[in-house]
A and B are shown apart, each in its own frame.
Chain A
Amino acid sequence: MNAKLKDNAEWGALSALPGNPMIWILIISELVVFGLALIGFMAMRFLKPEIFATGQAALDYWLGGLNTMFLITSGWCAARAVHARSRDQRQKARLWLGGAGMFGAAFLVVKLVEWSEKLSQGHDIAFDAFFTLFYLITGFHAAHVVMGLAILAIVGWWDSLENLKTGTAFWHMVDLIWLIIFPVIYLARGL
């Protein structure tokens, strides 16, 4: 059905993008949602500078940095997988996808360590305006990492080049969004 959709109907600007056009509808929607959430975060930081300064000071940017490395590496593996699949190296492509999934899982492990540390300090989602947004944004992002891992597994199983492009497009969105979350929430302090 997917291939038919793309062949039979003109999708405008989306037709030129790799993978199924419907994934791009999702990607654009996700970018809008995270964009709004981060704008909300910055607006609240402007309104409540003290609470946000204290909250951001409590975050460990080394863990955030480590996770950034994990996701970028994972994205690179996913790109290698598509490259391999386009040369008909199916096994190699699956190995690269597995690597992408491993780094994604490592990201989740670090995230859980980070959250449990914050929770043990009493910083839960209802603690203050900063932590409400911290858990919402990072939690919503982590949920997308979980979904992304499932998608990578699915396109690893049904591994046509089109499917691989579609699945990895979603995965690259997940790491792109983290690359915006990390500086806004962890790094931009006292600006």
Chain B
Amino acid sequence: MKYESQKVAMYYFAGALALFVAQVLFGVLMGTVVVVPNFLSELLPFNIMRMVHTNALIVWLLMGFFGCAYYLIPEEAERELHSTKLAIIQFWLFLFGAAAAVVGYLFRIHEGREFLEQPLWIKLAIVVVALMFLYNVSMTVLKGRKTAITSVLLLGLWGIAVFFLFSLYNPSNLVLDKMFWWWVVHLWVEGVWELVMASVLAFLMIKMTGVDREVVEKWLYLIIALTLFTGILGTGHHYYWIGTPGYWQWIGSIFSALEVFPFFAMVIFTFYMVWKGGRTHPNKAALLWSLGCSAFAFFGAGVWGFMHTLAPINYYTHGTQVTAAHGHLAFYGAYVMLNIAMFTYAMPNILKREPYNQVLNMWGFWITSGGVAFMTFALTFAGVVQTHLQRVMGMNFMEVQEQLGLFYWLRLGAGVAVLVGTILIVWSLAVPGSRQKAASQAGLAAAE
């Protein structure tokens, strides 16, 4: 860490980690409801838990991205942040909006539109938060050194804000409603968020492997070219069965099948950089998360996405547990791991804890990743059985659900493992390790 204002990222990291725990906790509660249907049914119905689970995920990932940008941009731009004060006000406003939304959900106040349930005034507050953020980081970049990493990151962050505006557009025609609804969710995760992912990974590679910036930038250009080429028209794979014309089945199938390539390029990129630059960097945990991020994103977003993206296959699998399997592994691999990689790299630097709790953090990596992987397998098998019974044999929905009980129990077990892993990760980042304590006491003794 070279600049004082990078410390402001700590607010965002802390907020994100708290929401991460809440998100996983609600996931475990939902996993319980699926196997014990009346669990909490009066107090906290499933649909409300699902809103909290999905909204908390999106909000903490965004909060993490904000934190990543506040840490990364001063270092890349080689100057202090435009306004630290604005960043702090933005954080509290964002946290207040998120908390108000969740409390509202608990009292059944929401707009009902899936994933965009936030009441209008909260959506508008999010737009204000985004503008404060974009002003702050853009001014910093404009006044400082411009690199490929900051350009791509800014493109991604501006894209997030622009596409969020479509959450305010809610046409009464259901086809148009769904069509633009995907512009928020899909063009984020398979478009502009991938730009954020590529630029943050590029930053981490430069910092940790010591490979030349020119080489890293070349990869960054390649990755974003592939992302935009495949991801934008790849949105068509959501337009198969919502009432849009049939040609979307061809556009969606062809372009989304190619969405594997940017993720594959990120795997080659990170592993090649680490192989080329060596693994001498002391922060082994951050390196592990970076490599894990590209690998899990490739499987979760790339391979598990490809499995059901072709229209003739999706005709059978649409909306089954196959989708749930893909959603969990993709979000974890691409965006959860990206954020944790950056937190793991940046937090010890900000907190000046060089020899910190790395082993515990890596345990967190393996337990969480193992849990998510096992959950993915359980849901994939559930999805295959469900597709066959429901869509091929024509059994009715609830009969099929009964047949999936075993897989749902396995999923719950995996979910508990993820919760344990999450707590380990948060603990390892927040609490100084024993060696760290010893080191700082030694430092104190020496000072005395």
Closest Cβ of chain A to B11, distance in Å, is 35
A28-43 interface with B by 8 A CB criterion: 29, 32-33, 36-37, 40
Residue of A nearest to B222 (CB): A25
Stretch in A110-118, A125-133, A166-174, A179-187 with 4+ CB within 8 Å of B = A125-133
Q: How many residue pairs between the two chains, A and B, have CB atoms under 8 Å in the bound complex? A: 48
Closest Cβ of chain A to B258, distance in Å, is 7
A70-103 interface with B by 8 A CB criterion: none
Closest Cβ of chain A to B237, distance in Å, is 14
Of B214, B218, B230, B250, the residue contacting A133 (CB under 8 A) is: B250
Residue of A nearest to B230 (CB): A29
Decide: A25 and B218 in contact? CB cutoff 8 A: no
Interface of A is mostly: helix
Decide: A125 and B215 in contact? CB cutoff 8 A: no
Contact mask B239-254 → A, CB, 8 Å, 1/0? Answer: 0000001110011011
> Cβ of A126: which chain B residues have Cβ within 8 Å of it?
245-247
Closest Cβ of chain A to B409, distance in Å, is 40
Of A29, A133, A136, the residue contacting B226 (CB under 8 A) is: A29
Decide: B218 and A37 in contact? CB cutoff 8 A: no
Question: Is B271 engaged at the interface, CB distance under 8 Å to the other chain?
Answer: no
> Cβ of B217: which chain A residues have Cβ within 8 Å of it?
5, 9
Decide: A9 and B246 in contact? CB cutoff 8 A: no
Of A8, A22, A136, the residue contacting B250 (CB under 8 A) is: A136
Cα distance, A135 to B246, chains bound together (Å)? 12
A10-63 interface with B by 8 A CB criterion: 10-11, 22, 25-26, 29, 32-33, 36-37, 40
Decide: B218 and A5 in contact? CB cutoff 8 A: yes
Decide: B221 and A136 in contact? CB cutoff 8 A: no
Decide: A9 and B215 in contact? CB cutoff 8 A: yes
Decide: A9 and B250 in contact? CB cutoff 8 A: no
Closest Cβ of chain A to B223, distance in Å, is 10
Decide: A25 and B251 in contact? CB cutoff 8 A: no
Decide: A132 and B250 in contact? CB cutoff 8 A: yes
Residue of B nearest to A7 (CB): B214
Of B225, B247, B258, the residue contacting A26 (CB under 8 A) is: B225
- Count contacts on B: residues with CB < 8 A to the other chain: 20
Decide: B247 and A132 in contact? CB cutoff 8 A: yes
Question: Is B115 engaged at the interface, CB distance under 8 Å to the other chain?
Answer: no
Cα distance, A25 to B222, chains bound together (Å)? 7
> Cβ of A32: which chain B residues have Cβ within 8 Å of it?
258
Question: Is B331 engaged at the interface, CB distance under 8 Å to the other chain?
Answer: no
> Cβ of A125: which chain B residues have Cβ within 8 Å of it?
245, 247
Given A11-B218, A22-B221: A33 and B255 interface contact (C-beta under 8 Å): yes
Given A8-B214, A9-B217, A11-B218: A25 and B225 interface contact (C-beta under 8 Å): yes
> Cβ of A135: which chain B residues have Cβ within 8 Å of it?
247
Of A11, A22, A40, the residue contacting B225 (CB under 8 A) is: A22
Decide: A136 and B246 in contact? CB cutoff 8 A: no
Of B214, B226, B246, B257, the residue contacting A36 (CB under 8 A) is: B257
Closest Cβ of chain A to B184, distance in Å, is 26
Decide: A37 and B250 in contact? CB cutoff 8 A: yes
Given A9-B214, A11-B218: A40 and B246 interface contact (C-beta under 8 Å): no
Closest Cβ of chain A to B269, distance in Å, is 13
> Cβ of B258: which chain A residues have Cβ within 8 Å of it?
29, 32-33, 36
Cα distance, A10 to B229, chains bound together (Å)? 23
> Cβ of B221: which chain A residues have Cβ within 8 Å of it?
5, 22
Contact mask B208-242 → A, CB, 8 Å, 1/0? Answer: 00000011011001100110011000000000000
Decide: B251 and A136 in contact? CB cutoff 8 A: yes
Cα distance, A10 to B218, chains bound together (Å)? 9
Cα distance, A9 to B214, chains bound together (Å)? 6
Cα distance, A14 to B161, chains bound together (Å)? 35
> Cβ of B246: which chain A residues have Cβ within 8 Å of it?
126, 132
Residue of B nearest to A135 (CB): B247
> Cβ of A11: which chain B residues have Cβ within 8 Å of it?
218
Residue of A nearest to B216 (CB): A9
Residue of B nearest to A25 (CB): B225
> Cβ of B257: which chain A residues have Cβ within 8 Å of it?
36
Decide: B254 and A37 in contact? CB cutoff 8 A: yes
Cα distance, A89 to B226, chains bound together (Å)? 36
Decide: A40 and B218 in contact? CB cutoff 8 A: no
> Cβ of B222: which chain A residues have Cβ within 8 Å of it?
22, 25
Interface residues of B (CB under 8 A from A): 214-215, 217-218, 221-222, 225-226, 229-230, 245-247, 250-251, 253-255, 257-258
Per CB-CB distance, the 5 closest pairs between chain A and chain B, nearest first, are: A9-B218, A8-B214, A9-B214, A36-B254, A29-B229
For this complex, 8 residue pairs linking A to B, each with C-beta atoms less than 8 Å apart, are: A5-B218, A9-B214, A9-B218, A26-B229, A33-B254, A36-B258, A126-B246, A136-B251
